[in-house]
Amino acid sequence: MPRLSYLKALNRALADEMAADERVFVLGEDVRVAASNLTAGLVKRFGPDRVIDTPLSEQGFTGFATGAALAGMRPVIEFQIPALLFLSFEQIVNHAHKFSLMTGGQCRVPVTYVLTGAGSRTGWAGQHSDNPYSLFAHVGVTTVVPATPTDAYGLLVSAIRYDDPVVVFAPAGALGVREDVDFAALAPIPLGSGRVHRAGTDITVVAVGHLVHDALAVADELSGEASVEVFDPRTVYPFDWDGLAASVRKTGRLVVVDDGNRFSGVAAEILATVAEQVPLAAPPARVTRPDGAVLPFSLELDHAVQPTRQQLAAAINQTLKKD
């Protein structure tokens, strides 16, 4: 069975949608030379009119994409580093996201924003290592964070086909992940649908993005002591609360691991919502970056602020003891 990498899965999904729908086009900085490999081979296959290099003006080309979407096109924007989303936040949230809401659904803005390499990148430092998916989830923009190549393919396809804006965070820590796939079985994945990667009975671990793989590794390490269920939301907004509630009702305990800052992060929202809806056998826990963390250039300090497997294992063990 062939192996598919996470990055190639994104590339394949984009190419498949461009082939299936002539309204789909991609734009961004250096997309014709495929600086991040997301757009590798696309300009040769689809031509420069559908693979558009833009000036270094994120507000400008993000606004352009909104207009193109209102005119019936389906733009896909690639942002190569997370901080560029801060420049475009107003265009995405205050314009693209709100047109449908303010027109009662009469205007749709099907733009997909792909962030190739979000979050912790060793040695990339403060302005290249953000993971601001909680900001977009907070304001109600559909926000996805795939963990595996098949999920990356299926969620990007669904995002491109969706009639409202979608932000796709492709974690740097997942870009090299590979898995065996049947290419004929690759298919869209519904937005808002979570996934249980590993069934368990003692505790539920919610892991976002690349941290799913860390959670699975920790679950293996602790398998002689605890039965750990690993739940991947895949979409942080809308969130699959029913799927998570079913998991936590079974296990009665919850730990969340998230490569975002602790204060006002996705992990905090997950803990709060589950605590409101599901009786717990022990107080829940979260493993995140520190409050207000900015990743430094120093490798030692970089590693110190990232969530680790050791921290996750400690949180699981502590939660299991709080009966």
For 169-197, how does the pLDDT look when each residue is reduced to its tens digit (9 = 90+)? 999 899 989 999 998 889 999 999 999 99
The CATH number that domain 195-321 falls under is: 3.40.50.920
pLDDT < 50: residue spans in the chain: none
Q: Which helix (H) or strand (E) holds 293?
A: none
53, with CB counted inside 10 A (0-12, 13-18, 19+), is middle
Q: What is the pLDDT of residue 323?
A: 52
CA distances from 281 to 91, 248, 320 (A): 44, 10, 9
Distance CA 270, CA 267 (A): 5
CB contact at 8 A, 115 and 65:
no
Paired tokens of 71: 């005119």
Distance CA 135, CA 121 (A): 20
Q: Which helix (H) or strand (E) holds 52?
A: strand 51-53
Catalytic residues: 128
33, with CB counted inside 10 A (0-12, 13-18, 19+), is exposed
CA distances from 79 to 53, 128, 145, 249, 260 (A): 12, 11, 15, 39, 19
Task: State the fold for domain 3-185.
Answer: Rossmann fold (3.40.50)
The size of the chain, in residues, is: 323
145, with CB counted inside 10 A (0-12, 13-18, 19+), is buried
Distance CA 202, CA 118 (A): 31
- CATH 3.40.50.920 residue spans of the chain: 195-321
Backbone angles phi, psi at 24, to 5 degrees: -80, 130
- CATH 3.40.50.970 residue spans of the chain: 3-185
Q: What is the pLDDT of residue 298?
A: 77
